């Protein structure tokens, strides 16, 4: 079969590699247009575009599926299209153009966590296993029949970033298997069963830490928002990003402390939550690089429950 691959970010690179490694005939890549990156705002091709150029695959660039993109896709005459985080809505004419349809690799076990941020939202909800699904795209949001699924366990130190990388690798293999079964005529898609949950895109306000929650909830929240958009809190009106928070039970020590109160205990920065406490591994002050939390605390001067309250 002739395969069109549609994807844009880093997460979509490994599945493209999986299709190539499986010997599938990728005849073109559809990705978003070059965008400004970094402080100098240099126009930069998407990670998928860069990989496609290395592989010598023709590239179509479009931030939306317009007439020009439709004509370019039609010229490639794909039998099937694989989609991994392309970043644009596919209209009916696109879905009708490709004989075997557009097959999406989605990072959840559907119908759970439909939407743009399934891994992030699932981790924020405290889930201990995450999954991926391949399904046929319809006009509804992640509603199409499912070809295959897989699950990956969440490790103690896993974040949205590490789980996305793991699912991109295993999901890429699942996507290749799905396309091969479609090509051989053995693929079977089944309707989604169960109550759906939804995973809207995260914004900066979603990543703010709520210290009134219990310690396990705070830890899950930080895992789900790391590395993007980045969990954060405020100290005296200044924003601080945080990574690597781990819950622990302080015994009776937290009963007299307010949520957000921080202290330096030996080499650890410890913050009180609504219930129990967390240890913070890394802190990033505005305009600086991420650093060891204890180093930040020593450099910031006094840190005790009377003077340091994260908000």
Average pLDDT, the chain: 93
Give the mean model confidence (pLDDT) for residues 45-67.
97
Question: Domain 2-184's class?
Answer: alpha beta
* Among candidate residues 57, 92, 62, 90, the one with its CA nearest the CA of residue 76: 57
Q: CA dist 143 to 239, 268, 274, Å? A: 39, 46, 38
Give the mean model confidence (pLDDT) for residues 307-311.
80
Q: Domain map of the chain by residue range? A: 2-184, 204-299
Q: What is the pLDDT of residues 101-121, one digit of tens each?
A: 999 999 999 999 999 999 999
* pTM for this model (two decimals): 0.93
> Rg of the chain over CA atoms, in angstroms?
22
Rounded distance between C-alpha atoms, residue 125 and residue 119, angstroms: 10
* Per-residue confidence (pLDDT) for residue 304, from 0 to 100: 54
- Taking the CA atoms of 50, 51, 56 and 60 in sequence, report the sign of the dihedral they define: negative
* Per-residue confidence (pLDDT) for residue 256, from 0 to 100: 55
Give the mean model confidence (pLDDT) for residues 200-212.
96
Contact 207, 225 (CB under 8 A): yes
Confidence of residue 305 (pLDDT cuts 50, 70, 90): very low
Give the mean model confidence (pLDDT) for residues 298-311.
68
Rounded distance between C-alpha atoms, residue 229 and residue 202, angstroms: 7
Contact 215, 253 (CB under 8 A): no
- Range 204-299: architecture per CATH: Roll (3.10)
- Has residue 146 got a pLDDT over 60? yes
């Amino acid at each position: 079969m002739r395969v069109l691959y549609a994807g844009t970010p880093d997460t979509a690179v490994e599945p493209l590699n999986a299709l190539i490694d499986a010997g599938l005939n990728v005849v073109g890549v559809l990705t978003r247009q070059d965008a400004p990156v970094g402080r100098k705002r240099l126009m930069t091709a998407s990670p998928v575009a860069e990989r496609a150029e290395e592989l010598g695959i023709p590239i179509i660039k479009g931030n939306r599926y317009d007439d020009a993109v439709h004509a370019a896709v039609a010229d490639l005459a794909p039998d099937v299209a694989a989609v991994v985080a392309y970043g644009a809505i596919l209209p009916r004419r696109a879905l009708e153009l490709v004989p075997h349809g557009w097959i999406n690799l989605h990072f959840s076990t559907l119908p759970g966590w439909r939407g743009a941020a399934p891994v992030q939202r699932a981790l924020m909800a405290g889930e201990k296993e995450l999954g991926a699904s391949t399904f046929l795209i319809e006009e509804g949001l992640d509603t199409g029949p499912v070809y295959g699924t897989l699950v990956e366990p969440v490790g103690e130190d896993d974040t949205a970033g590490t789980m996305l990388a793991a699912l991109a690798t295993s999901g890429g293999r699942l996507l290749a298997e799905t396309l091969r079964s479609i090509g051989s005529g053995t693929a079977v898609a089944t309707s989604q069963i169960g109550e759906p949950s939804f995973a809207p895109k995260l914004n900066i306000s979603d990543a703010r830490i709520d210290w009134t929650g219990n310690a396990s909830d705070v830890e899950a929240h930080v895992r789900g928002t790391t590395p993007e958009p980045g969990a954060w809190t405020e100290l005296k009106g200044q924003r601080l990003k945080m990574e690597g928070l781990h819950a622990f039970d302080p015994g009776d020590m937290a009963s007299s402390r307010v949520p957000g109160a921080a202290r330096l205990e030996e080499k650890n920065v410890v913050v009180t939550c609504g219930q129990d406490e967390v240890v913070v591994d890394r802190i990033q002050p505005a305009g600086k690089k991420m650093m060891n939390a204890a180093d930040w605390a020593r450099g910031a001067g006094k840190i005790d429950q009377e003077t340091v309250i994260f908000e």
